[in-house]
Amino acid sequence: MEVTTLHQNSPLPETWVEKIFDRMLLSFGKKFIDQWAGADPQKLLNHWTIELAGFTGAEIKSGLTAMDSMDWPPNLPQFKKLCRPDADPMKAYYEALAGVQARAAGQMGVWSHPAIYWAAMPLSFDLGSQSYSQIKGSRRFPSRWIAANGRRYRNPC
Same-domain check for residues 23 and 56: yes
In a domain, 68, yes or no: yes
Q: Is it the case that residue 45 has pLDDT exceeding 70?
A: yes
Boundaries of domain holding 103: 89-152
Task: Give the span between the Cα atoms of 100 and 93, in whole angstroms.
Answer: 10
Task: Give the span between the Cα atoms of 2 and 16, in whole angstroms.
Answer: 10
Q: pLDDT tens, 77-104?
A: 999 999 998 878 888 889 999 999 999 9
Q: Is 111 helix (H, G, I), strand (E, B) or coil?
A: coil
Domain boundary among 83, 98, 117: 83
Strand partners, 137: 142
Read off the pLDDT of each residue in 119-131 and give the average, rounded to a whole number: 85
In a domain, 109, yes or no: yes
Same-domain check for residues 144 and 118: yes
In a domain, 94, yes or no: yes
Same-domain check for residues 78 and 94: no
Residue 133: Cβ-neighbour burial (10 angstroms; 0-12, 13-18, 19+)? exposed
pTM (two decimals): 0.64
Name the domain count of the chain.
2
Task: Give the span between the Cα atoms of 65 and 61, in whole angstroms.
Answer: 6
Q: Is it the case that residue 156 has pLDDT exceeding 60?
A: no
- 43 vs 14, 49, 50, 73, 103, CA distance in Å? 12, 10, 11, 18, 49
In a domain, 44, yes or no: yes
SS3 content of the chain, % helix, strand, coil (to 5): 60, 0, 40
Same-domain check for residues 53 and 109: no
Among 156, 94, 84, which Cα is nearest to 119's?
94
